[in-house]
Structure 1
Amino acid sequence: MFVPLHDNTPLRVIRFQYVTGALIVINVTMFLITGAFTGEQALWAMATGYGVVPVELLHAVDTGPFNNPVPEPLTLITYEFLHGGWMHLISNMAFLWVFADNVEDAFGHFGFLLFYLLCGIAAGMLHTLMQPDSAAPLIGASGAVSGVLASYLLLYPRARVWILLFMRIPLPISAFWALSGWFALQLLSIFIASEDELQVAWWAHIGGFLAGLILTFVLRSRLLVKTSL
């Protein structure tokens, strides 16, 4: 639908978004190691080993140490740092770079890291609960990033964001309309997506977004940056 380019919300508490930057570096590094220059078979092995496989997570299916290099519950974290292609990676990192710095400003460095990981875990869990018999691995940062978008929406709804609409049209728009529209599209896609588009983890996006809304609302009194929330 759109790619974010820039927002107009300055940092108020932290000097620099160190955790956001570190997350981007880790994600890019992991992709270069696991997906950028490897074949499909190697990428699939990495995804099934470190990604969330719903049927294995829920039913404790033992496929051996080769296919399960880490305990299944731990994949709810490891899957957040793997991507299946350049566009998958670039899209997630663009959203993270534009919106996460201000959320990190509100939560503080450590609080933001914890918030990010929890949103990713919630995203993986909802995806698993909605597709309990799926043997396809879930990978990508989009669930955790969705939580960041929800937090930004609550904290800075009036912020102006430059977006690239339909990958062609640069447009300034309020964060409220941009991010509300993004979430509405995730909900709608569950019902209208084509067979190929169903491979996108829509439920993970929704789970991460809802987790971000809930956590930000519950913790609003403890945030470093006070808003009208």
Structure 2
Amino acid sequence: MFIPLHDANSLKYIKLQYVTFGLIGLNVLVFLITGLGSEEFTGAAVYGLGYIPSVAFDTVELSPELVIVPEDMTYITYAFLHGDFFHLAGNMLFLWVFGDNVEDALGHFRFLVFYLLCAIGGAAVHGWIAPDSQIPLIGASGAIAGIVAAYLILHPRVKIWVLAFGRIPLRIPAYLTLGLWIAFQFTMLALGGEDQISWACHAGGIITGAVLVMILRRRDVPLLDKEVVTPRAVKVEQPSAVHPVEAQPAPRWGRQ
């Protein structure tokens, strides 16, 4: 639909978004470990760490050799797995552009909690919609959808540089860009969408993020913030005439 590039939205409370950087680094590291190994190793990681609704609801039992973490942990671990480079790159780009300002509004620790809870919310809605599914759910998109929802609630008027349809550079307000993105997710969920994308996971992340940002944000952080104004050069008016200063006689120093 669109590719986010830059939002020019400066940080107000933190100096460095190190949780955002850490999450990006962890996702990349997990991808390098699980995605570049043998096909057998990658498949085992997907089934052992991915979220499988039928396994989570105890209607299907996973083979013991595939069990890596307890079933409940897969509500989180699935969000750090990605199918290919483009899957990873797309999610990390959204996290890079929008994550820092959400981290700024929540604080480092609460942002980490927010991210993980959005991932859990995405998996929970996916499982609720398709409880009998035996296909592993992987990807950070549930958590990313929560970040998009939070950003929209915090900074709806900030203008974002995007590549519309992957080609056309445009600077569009967040309420239009992200609002359409969110509407698209729910529309695709209602219509059935593509089988390879869990629109339910996206919807769960959006709902979770929208609720949590109002609870976890700093007390002095407003909702529906105003547009960020980029400073411009100011023209200084020069006086019409410059009057020379009259010379004053030099003081005379002497004894009295």
**For 2:160, what is the secondary structure of its paired residue?**
strand
2:203 alignment partner AA = I
Aligned ranges for residues 12-27 of structure 1 at < 5 Å?
A: 12-27=12-27
The Cα offsets for residues 38-62 of structure 1, whole Å up to 9 and x where unpaired, read as 3444322211100100000012643
Asked if residue 79 in structure 1 is aligned to residue 75 in structure 2, the reply is no
* CA distance in structure 1 between the aligned counterparts of 2:111 and 2:59, rounded to whole angstroms: 31
* CA distance in structure 1 between the aligned counterparts of 2:50 and 2:153, rounded to whole angstroms: 30
Contact persistence 1:108–1:224 (CA under 8 A): no
Q: CA deviation at 1:227?
A: 4.1
* CA distance in structure 2 between the aligned counterparts of 1:223 and 1:115, rounded to whole angstroms: 16
* CA distance in structure 1 between the aligned counterparts of 2:20 and 2:111, rounded to whole angstroms: 9
**Residues 180 and 228 from structure 1, CA distance in 2 versus in 1: closer, same or farther, beyond 3 angstroms?**
closer
**1:51 — aligned with what?**
50
Q: CA deviation at 1:201?
A: 1.1
**1:181 — aligned with what?**
180
**For 1:87, what is the secondary structure of its paired residue?**
helix
Count of aligned positions: 225
The Cα offsets for residues 112-165 of structure 1, whole Å up to 9 and x where unpaired, read as 000000010010010011000000000111000110010000000001100111
Q: Percent identity?
A: 48
| Runs (5+) with no aligned partner, structure 2 | 226-256
Asked if residue 130 in structure 1 is aligned to residue 129 in structure 2, the reply is yes
Q: CA deviation at 1:190?
A: 2.4
Q: Which has the higher contact order (CA 8 A, sep 6+)?
A: 1
Asked if residue 226 in structure 1 is aligned to residue 225 in structure 2, the reply is no
Larger Rg: 2
**1:10 — aligned with what?**
10
Contact persistence 1:153–1:179 (CA under 8 A): yes
Q: CA deviation at 1:193?
A: 5.5
**For 1:199, what is the secondary structure of its paired residue?**
coil
The Cα offsets for residues 81-118 of structure 1, whole Å up to 9 and x where unpaired, read as 11000110000000000000000000000010000000
1:209 alignment partner AA = I
Stretch deviating more after TM superposition (63-72 or 47-56): 63-72
Asked if residue 210 in structure 1 is aligned to residue 223 in structure 2, the reply is no
**1:161 — aligned with what?**
160
**2:34 — aligned with what?**
34
**For 1:4, what is the secondary structure of its paired residue?**
strand
| Runs (5+) with no aligned partner, structure 1 | none
**Higher share in helix:** 1
Q: CA deviation at 1:188?
A: 1.6
Aligned ranges for residues 137-156 of structure 1 at < 5 Å?
A: 137-156=136-155
2:5 alignment partner AA = L
* CA distance in structure 2 between the aligned counterparts of 1:68 and 1:83, rounded to whole angstroms: 19
**Residues 108 and 84 from structure 1, CA distance in 2 versus in 1: closer, same or farther, beyond 3 angstroms?**
same
Contact persistence 1:106–1:225 (CA under 8 A): yes
1:199 alignment partner AA = Q
Contact persistence 1:106–1:224 (CA under 8 A): no
**1:115 — aligned with what?**
114
1:29 alignment partner AA = L
